[in-house]
Every structure is written in C-alpha cells, then in structure tokens.
Chain A
Amino acid sequence: MGHEFQFYSEAGLPVWTGIKASNLRSLQNGIRRVSGSSIFYHVHHALLRRHFTAAEYMNDFARWVWLHLNQPALAEKLASIDPWDFTSVRQVRERLLEYLHTYVGEMETFFRVPERDEFQFLELRSVVFPTGLRARDLRSFHDALQKVGLGSLFYHLVEARLRLGRLSNDFSEWLSERLKEDELAERINDLSPYAYNLWQIRDKIVEMIETRLS
C-alpha cells in the first residue's frame, strides 16, 4: 500500500448461470457447484443492493428459504451469515452448506416450488476502477470520504476482507499502517454493515475523524 490512499470503487453486473434450485436438496447442490462469484453475488453483493435495510438484511439464500420454502428456522440460520465475519468466499460457502446439511439430513421429503419461484443462481462480473479521489493525511482522508459513493464504501469495507484475507478493511489498514492511527482503525473495523447501512458507516467514520482532529 502506497503512502497515499487511493479510493477505488466496485460495480458489478449479474450473469445468468443456468443453475436453479427448486427445493432444499437442489439449493444445496447449487451452492456446492456454483462459482465463488455466484456466492459473492448472493451473499455479499446482496448487502450492497439492500444496504439501507441493514437492520433487516437477509442474503438472497435466506430470503428465498424464508419466502418460498417456508423454512423460517433455516432462513434465520442462513441470515446469520454476516459477510463481515468471513475472509474468503470458500468459508461462506462452507457455512451455508453446513447449515443446509443439518436441515437436509433431518428431512425425508423435500417441498418443491413451482418453476416461477425457483432460485436462479447468478454470478457477478465485477469491475474495480479508480474514483480519482486520494488522501495523504487524516484531513484529506476525511474530505475525500465524504465524496465517495456506495460502490467505493463496499469495495474498501466489505469486499476488502476477501481481498486482504483477514478480518480487516482498507481504511483501517491504511490508517494503522501509514498514519499510525491504530485506535481509529480498530473502531472503524467494528462498524459492521450488518448493523448500519453504508451511508451511516461513512457518517460514523467521518464523525470519528472529526473528533480525532478536533
């Protein structure tokens, strides 16, 4: 990571995979088969699409199990999968399969939904691009942060965990490594997008920096 912080953004478009699920068993098979970018789309990217519903957020799998398979207990389990807790898509896939395995093992018959209600697995083609915003110190970081969009917050906070391979984010890494702002970095890393929407997280970070600068 260079001395300057460069704000990137991420945007993606879903592609149809042709893989569908009509019951728990086929959902399990689908989750096993699909690419990592499909799991990313249905768990992580769902958070971006519905970020303002943070308090009620449910990933696409949980929502489908709840609405179409009418399995609220399993839906709750699947909904508890918080992208913030994982550093790889593989871990997310394993956790999904673990929860599904328990339920599939307990059931002998599988309710099948009509064709129109099938779960359609999509995968994401993402593009990461520079926003042109940069920061050299805490003040310019504070100023730039107020100009970045949702895609940028998602890239540096949520997707960063997968890229870095650890429970951290780009903002915290840079603040800690380059500006030695360890406490600030730690507090930012505690702001789960499962609890706050991305705009609220941005406002909270801005507020924290303002307190630090005052």
Chain B
Amino acid sequence: MKTIRLDEYAPLVGAEEIAEIRALAACLGSVSLQHINSTSQGGGVAEILSWLVPLMQDVGIDARWTVIEGSAEFFEVTKAFHNALHGMSVEITPEMFALFREVGEQNLRKVDGQADFIVVHDPQPLGLIAAKRQGGATKWIWRCHIDLSEADLRVWGFLRTYVERFDAAVFHLPEYAKELPIDQFILPPAIDPLSEKNRELDPSEVQAVLERFGIDPEKPIVLQVSRFDRLKDPVGVLEAFRLVRRSHECQLILAGGSAADDPEGAQVLAEVRERAEKLPDVHILDLPPTSHREINALQRAAAVVVQKSIREGFGLVVTEAMWKGKPVVGSAVGGIRRQIIHGVTGFLAHTVEGTAFRIRQLLSHPELAAQMGWAAREYVRTNFLLTQYLKNWLLLLLTVKHPWRGSKQWAVFAA
C-alpha cells in the first residue's frame, strides 16, 4: 500500500483545511473500520482504497482493507451483473444468483465482527451482509461506485435485498440513487493531486512529451482524453475541430487508452484515424494504460480541453483537466454537469456546433480561458480532491454513528 500522509497536501489545500479534517476526525474518536472489495489491484475502487485507507489511518481511524476471494466463474457472474446494472442486455440465470450467494457465504469469515464500521464496495461482496448481527453495534455501509440509473431490474431486484440490510448506501451522483428504505448519501469521487497523473510538471517535462509525439508546442492544442469508444464521441470531436479549424489555427489531440483487447474500440480507432486523415493537425495517440505522465503533460499543454461524451459516469478526466487550470467544454451529461458550472468553470455543450462555438470562443479569448481555468481549479480544490473525499467520509461515519433526523439539522460536537 502507498505511503501517504495527509500533511503532504497542505501546500495544495491549505494548512487550515488539513487542521479542519483532523478536528473532524477527533469528533469521531477511536474507531475501527474495514473496507471490503473484490480486488487489490486494477480498477478505480482499488485505486481509491490505495490512498483512502492510509489517509484514514493517518487521521486516527483503525482502517484496514480486505479483499474477498472467488472463483473465475464467480467473477464472470459479477461481471455480468455489472454489465446488467449498466443497462446492458445480459443473460442472467438462477444458477448465477446461486453462485453469488454461495461465494458470499464462503467469505463471511473475512468479516471483522469487532469493527465499528464495515464498508462494502460495489456489488461483488454484498453477500457479506449476512454477517451483520441483529442489533449489533457495527454499522454497515454500501459504497456503490457504479451508475445504477438504468440498472436491469432482475439483477437490481436481487441485489436490493442485500442492500436494504445495510445502515446506509453511498452513491457518486443523485441520479444513481434508488428507492431504498435506508439513507443514501451523495459523495462524489475525487482525484489525487500528487499522483503521477496530476502532480505539477516541470515545463521541460511537458515539452519533452510534446516533442516525443511530434506536436507543435507553438500551436494552440485542443485535447480530448478518452478511450476510443463511441460513447466518448471521438468522431463528434473531429467534426467540432473541423468547424473550429475553419477560423482558427490550432491542432487537435485525441489521446486514448489502448484498444488492443476491445474489438469495438479497435474499430472506432480505425474509423477515427480514417476521418482524421482528411483533416490537418490532428494527432491520434493510442497510449498504453500506464501513460499517466504523458496524459498529465498533454493536459497541461492544452489550450482547451474537450469531453464530448454521449454518456459519462462522473468523468474524473474532466476533474483532472480542471485541476490543471484548463477550461473544459463538456457535454451536459452525467457527472460532467456536476463539475462544469456553465459559463464559470467551463462550458456545457449539447451539439457538435455548440462544442465548436465554445472552443472558438476560448481560443479567441485567452483571458476568458484563463479566468475559467482558475475557477475550474478552485472548484476542484473545494470539492473534488482526495482531502475533501476523506472529509466527506469522516462526515459520513459521524452521521451514521450519530443518526439524527427532522428539523434539527446540525449535530454539534462540543469543544
């Protein structure tokens, strides 16, 4: 696990914010917490836990992280559930539900019955709720990292019977919440400003990356970072760039993950390449998934960042660009709408034409781009950095530990 200290973030969020987080943690007192998920490496949840657990420990929580075990068949089932929860058409059989129950029971021994809080991440370990004792002191929290807004009703109907037994559920966005008899908290994800993908870079490092990819450092860059996936609409970005290019000398970079293991991705990439051939100054960068520093450098070099997704979860790639002080022109979908305050921290657009209009506006008015970039960075600083994420977790634990409702809206902790 990473070595990570809360105080390292003081230069970025202010010593006063760090002090507030520690003061809030002091209200919680001495508590123990067990995070449970299905993988120790790879994927967004493992990434978040790799810094959340040490940060929780740093503020005095006895936090630990446990990974459930399951056969390859079990993970095929949970992958199918995952796709069904995203609204995809997937064949679901009674045997799949039976295997899910069985693996849940096999993992019950992993639950720390003495912990004050047990946080279960995503659907895979939901079966562990069977270890919850009636009237026990342990508070159980389900942290859902996925978009359930178009969830398959059979799968959700099955999983819901587990979720209802928790003390609280947590979602990224209000749109993901479901009708449940328990409290549902809204806690957006966050980025680590000191990670390789987000840390400050020396201008020479940025320059070196541009040179490596043959990008002209003098010409304004319009950038979209995303997988080569139709839902990210790279073709729409090319179209918007074509409109912008009529009046503005600039270049477009479409930087995405490797499409080697994704047949549809490879097809989209081929289509994008073919279309890009007809346009000047387009760079298609098919990067390996470890290219964090390259992405960081490209975001820092950009004049305008675009995220023209047709559908988006939270869109942390937008958060990353905003943190680098870049104005983002984003589609008015999913979490992009929560991050871009239209006209203040960036622009929301609905069409190719609208996207092109806003890109042109920002390229023509660097002072507007700078002002928006500043506001974007401040918005991320206040709301979407891992320090705020930790603070939100402390609030969540306090709220679940000391539930209150009704007209009295404040829980006051005396000095």
Contacts and interface: CB of A to CB of B under 8 A. Distances in A.
Interface residues of A, number: 42
B407 A122 contact: no
B280 interface: no
B413 A148 contact: no
Interface stretch (A51-59, A97-105, A181-189, A204-212): A51-59
A37 B407 CA distance: 8
A32 interface: no
Interface stretch (B92-100, B120-128, B221-229, B337-345): B337-345
Contacts of B382: 49, 51-52, 150
Contacts of B415: 6, 8, 130, 132
A30 interface: no
B20 interface: yes
A53 B399 contact: no
Nearest to B412: A128
A152 B183 contact: no
B383 interface: yes
Contacts of B342: 67
Contacts of B395: 11-13, 125, 127
Given A52-B375, A53-B375, A16 B184 contact: yes
Contacts of B186: 13-16, 122
Given A6-B415, A9-B20, A52 B14 contact: no
Contact of A147 (B15, B399, B406): B15
A138 B383 CA distance: 32
A129 interface: yes
Contacts, number: 121
A9 B345 CA distance: 26
Contacts of A131: 19-20, 23
Given A120-B175, A122-B186, A56 B409 contact: no
B353 interface: no
A116 interface: yes
Interface in B370-415: 375, 378-379, 382-383, 391-392, 395-396, 398-399, 404, 406-407, 409-415
A147 B414 contact: no
Contacts of B14: 149
Contacts of A10: 410
B411 A127 contact: yes
| Chain A binding surface, main DSSP class | strand
A166 B387 CA distance: 34
Contacts of B149: 116
B45 interface: no
A36 B407 contact: yes
Interface in B314-329: none
Interface residues of B, number: 49
B266 interface: no
Contact of B175 (A116, A130, A147): A116
Nearest to A151: B20
A67 B333 CA distance: 13
B20 A40 contact: no
Given A11-B391, A15-B185, A49-B382, A127 B409 contact: no
A44 to B, nearest CB: 11
Given A15-B185, A130-B413, A122 B378 contact: no
Interface string B196-221: 00000000000000000000000000
B215 to A, nearest CB: 32
A8 B411 CA distance: 12
Contacts of A53: 341, 344-345, 375
A134 to B, nearest CB: 9
Contacts of B412: 127-129
A23 interface: no
B27 A13 contact: no
A152 B20 contact: yes
A71 interface: no
Contacts of A13: 185-187, 392, 395-396, 399
Most chain A CB inside 10 Å of its own CB: which residue of B15, B383, B396, B410: B410
B343 A56 contact: yes
Contacts of B407: 35-36
A56 to B, nearest CB: 6
B183 A15 contact: yes
A77 interface: no
Given A14-B185, A152-B16, 20 more contacts: A13-B399, A14-B174, A15-B184, A16-B185, A18-B179, A35-B407, A35-B409, A36-B409, A40-B409, A49-B383, A67-B348, A120-B177, A126-B411, A128-B410, A129-B413, A130-B414, A147-B15, A148-B16, A150-B17, A150-B382
Closest 10 CB pairs of A and B: A120-B174, A130-B415, A37-B409, A149-B16, A16-B177, A16-B184, A13-B395, A52-B378, A149-B20, A128-B412
21 contacts: A6-B415, A11-B20, A11-B395, A13-B187, A15-B185, A16-B171, A16-B174, A18-B177, A36-B407, A37-B409, A51-B382, A52-B379, A116-B333, A126-B410, A127-B24, A127-B27, A128-B412, A129-B23, A149-B14, A151-B20, A152-B16
